[in-house]
Amino acid sequence: MLRDIRAELTKQSRRPASWLLLAVAVVLTLTFGYAIPYAGLSGAPGTGRGLGAMLPDAFVGSALGGLPIFVGALALIFGVLVAGSEYGYGTWKTVLVQHPSRVAVYSAKLVTVALGALAAVLALFLTTAGASALVAALEGQVPSWPSGTGIALGLGAGWLVTTMWGALGVLLAIGLRSVALPIGLGLVWLLAVQNLLASIAAPLLDWVDRLQKVLPGPNAGALAAAFGASAPGVERVVGSGQATAVLAGYLVVFGVLGGWLLHRRDIA
């Protein structure tokens, strides 16, 4: 098992696409969380409130703001690439004839996705902390940092959300046995469908409003909102406890279902 994990980690660390996804996540988070808001401070009314969202005591929320949508989409793409590339390159048979079982290979892929998600969240926290410290220095503000417990809980929440989206990507890749279609369908869901449900359908239909409280996107947004995030897709539709339980449930379901499909079906 450890050898399978090392092999997966080596493969993904040498794939330029993995580093590109991480770079895009960091750049987008800094651009929409700091660069654009800071550039608009001078001409915007109520600049005190806008500045407060960029100071060190709010950096956890800034790091988590993109997880329900664009960072989640990038995590999903990473999950698709980890599992779906084996279909694209036709390497499933090459891997499995070496010795490992399908369950072992699949478990190694899930561990790789989880570690990749952790690396992404850590990178977001480090870069947003640096950006917030820079803003405080430029504005002559005395830095006030969140507690260690708050930072640790934020890291855990970010890791849960990002790993959940990555596991969905793995499931889609195995279910559809490809790369392009799972990425396309996953992006349509994250960037379009869940936002349309929240902004158009939920206010008009009570059952849609109740339904979104058990969907992964709104719960990811609710968990990010609990840490002060403010971004599209971030809204406290449920409490942080329920959001954590729902997201953990989705993570388990996605992981088990993906493994069951890989174990039961022909890989060709």
C-alpha closest to that of 29 among 96, 114, 110, 121: 121
Residue 3 is predicted with a pLDDT of 85
Tokens representing residue 267 in the block: 């890989």
User: In the predicted model, is pLDDT for residue 98 greater than 90?
Assistant: no
User: In the predicted model, is pLDDT for residue 266 greater than 80?
Assistant: no
Do the Cβ atoms of 57 and 145 come closer than 8 Å? yes
Residue 179 is predicted with a pLDDT of 92
Domain ranges for the chain:
2-264
d(CA 51, CA 34): 9
Both ends of the chain: CA-CA distance in Å?
Answer: 24
Residue 268 is predicted with a pLDDT of 61
User: In the predicted model, is pLDDT for residue 49 greater than 70?
Assistant: no
d(CA 159, CA 125): 11
Residue 148 is predicted with a pLDDT of 93
d(CA 169, CA 124): 20
pLDDT band at 191 (very low <50, low <70, confident <90, very high): confident
Residue 212 is predicted with a pLDDT of 85
In this structure, the number of other CB atoms found within 10 A of the CB of residue 143 comes to 14
As a whole number, mean pLDDT of residues 217-237 equals 88
Length of the chain (residues):
268
C-alpha closest to that of 210 among 237, 248, 172: 237
As a whole number, mean pLDDT of residues 94-121 equals 89
pLDDT band at 79 (very low <50, low <70, confident <90, very high): very high
Q: Identify the weakest region by mean pLDDT among 89-103, 115-129, 130-144, 201-215.
A: 89-103
Give buried/exposed letters for 239-267 (b at 16+ CB in 10 A, else e). Answer: ebeebbebbeebbeebbeebbeebeeeee
Instruction: Give me the helix-helix angle, 16-30 and 70-88, nearest 10°.
Output: 170
Q: What is the DSSP string of 172-184?
A: HHHHHTSSHHHHH
Per the prediction, the chain carries an average pLDDT of 89
Residues 249, 251, 257, 263, Cα dihedral to 10°: -140
d(CA 34, CA 12): 30
pLDDT band at 76 (very low <50, low <70, confident <90, very high): very high
Q: Which value, in Å, is the radius of gyration of the alpha carbons in the chain? A: 19
Residue 48 is predicted with a pLDDT of 45
d(CA 242, CA 221): 12
Residue 222 is predicted with a pLDDT of 92
Give pLDDT tens digits for 119-148: 999 999 999 999 999 999 988 888 899 999
Residue 47 is predicted with a pLDDT of 45
Residue whose structure tokens are 């401070």:
41
Residue 42 is predicted with a pLDDT of 62
- Report pTM: 0.91
Give pLDDT tens digits for 7-48: 889 999 999 999 999 999 999 999 998 998 888 876 544 444
As a whole number, mean pLDDT of residues 69-89 equals 91
